[in-house]
Amino acid sequence: MSAETVDTAAAAAPRPGSVRVHVRAALRRAAPALALFAAIRLAGAMCTALWAWHTGRHPRNLLGATWDSNWYLSVARYGYGSPTPHRMWPPDPLADLAFFPLYPGLIRGVSTALPIGALSAGLLLAWTAAAVAAWGIFAVGAHLHGRRAGTFLVALWALLPHAVVESLSYTEPLLTALAAWALYALLTDRPLWAGALAALAGLARPNGLAVAAAVLVVVGVRTWRRGRDGPVPRQGRPLWHYWTAALTAPAGWLGYVLWVGARTGWGPRGYFQVQELWGSRFDFGRDTLRSVKRLFLHDAPLVQYMAAAVLAVALLLLVLLVLDRPPLPLLVYTAVLMAMALGGTGYFPSKPRFLLPAFPLLIPAAVALARARPRAVVLTTGALAALSLGYGLYLLTMAPEPL
């Protein structure tokens, strides 16, 4: 072996502490974006706390025990199929099987390991996941378009009309964190990491399947190209890394769906029959179109009109994203999320929340802000902040329909 080969091998070998150094450097690079995200969400939490105290409610209960949060807390405390007083609809003991197990499992683990209750553990996990999601979103944006665009991408995600969900005990922050880092792993050619994160995303939410779809498409394209172009380049990843990622990515989602089928005794369709208890199924968007049509014919609460507006803007942003020709994993992930949100029945006011993990939709706007003049940036972000904080408070405290 030549001296040059030895030197090259030594340089390529992982040095002690190199991973820790890399993580610290990446965290320092993302620090301004994370500080901005924390400031925005802290402002939202303060608005919520002030309103809660004004109305005689405890801020922690308002943030940690609202709507679906109660279901996750119940699964964490008692397991699946244990009826609790807050359950009013649907009254079926199988209804809680609609909620995927990763988040309640983490709540149980944290509340067991630390001297805090399940409610506080849920909030701690959700806030941590939101911060990790912001870091992952920055990493994707900075990798594609530079640090300034990555920072604006984080800011836009923090200023969405439904961004209050990023401060609640909901699973959207957890899914977004796993998805962002899985997509970053795909963009930087780390298929094994992408597959593992996609499997966890599939245990977090039903639409976590979008992460697995991105991994599968990328693996398929990479395998086809290598088969067409000949032997694997020496500097490339071994092909078995991609095949392993393809097998791992859907394992979480598929495993839980099959487990629900066995638990209910309804077979492979068991999970989808549980979803039907909630009035939820996939009808290719017919129910969404009917909901929009009703807004033109009848009066409806503000949340209905805002949901329609958010969906319309999301479709426009998807067109802009396609025209921008993003990397394939971002496009597949976002398209599957959009299809699942628009194609499902029921819960029309919740559809913007289902799209919260679809942060790649914001990339064209983030790039535009990165190139804009300071005056335009201040006016745009100021208007978005007023909308996000005000509407988030309305959703959490005054809206007549579930978030």
CA angle 52, 58, 64 (to 5 degrees): 100
What is the model's pLDDT at position 9?
A: 34
- pLDDT of 103 strictly over 90: yes
| For range 303-320, the mean pLDDT | 96
- pLDDT of 398 strictly over 90: no
Q: How confident is the model at residue 1 (pLDDT cuts 50, 70, 90)?
A: very low
| For range 184-196, the mean pLDDT | 96
What is the model's pLDDT at position 370?
A: 96
The answer to whether the beta carbons of residues 206 and 247 sit under 8 Å apart is no
CA neighbor of 66 nearest in space, from 162, 168, 160:
168
The answer to whether the beta carbons of residues 40 and 152 sit under 8 Å apart is no
Q: How confident is the model at residue 401 (pLDDT cuts 50, 70, 90)?
A: confident
Q: What is the pLDDT of residues 108-131, one digit of tens each?
A: 999 999 999 999 999 999 999 999
Looking at every residue in the chain, the average pLDDT score rounds to: 89
* Residue-wise DSSP of 227-289: HHH-SPPTTSPPHHHHHHHHHHTTHHHHHHHHHHHHHHTSGGGHHHHHHHHTT--B-TTHHHH
Ranges 53-67, 142-156, 188-202, 358-372: which has the least confidence: 53-67
The answer to whether the beta carbons of residues 209 and 202 sit under 8 Å apart is yes
Task: Read off the amino acid at residue 267.
Answer: G
Q: How confident is the model at residue 400 (pLDDT cuts 50, 70, 90)?
A: confident
| Spacing of C-alpha 145 from chain mean position | 21
Give the span between the Cα atoms of 244 and 298, in whole angstroms.
52
* Residue-wise DSSP of 22-33: HHHHHHHHHHHH
* Higher-confidence position of 73 and 83: 73
Q: How confident is the model at residue 5 (pLDDT cuts 50, 70, 90)?
A: very low
Q: How confident is the model at residue 83 (pLDDT cuts 50, 70, 90)?
A: low
- pLDDT of 89 strictly over 70: no
In the chain, the percentage of residues whose pLDDT exceeds 70 is 91
Instruction: For the beta carbon of residue 2, count every other beta carbon within 10 angstroms.
Output: 7
What is the model's pLDDT at position 24?
A: 87
Which tokens belong to 349?
């006011």
Give the span between the Cα atoms of 312 and 289, in whole angstroms.
12
What is the model's pLDDT at position 355?
A: 96
75-to-102, 103, 258, 308, 400 alpha-carbon distances in Å: 11, 10, 19, 32, 25
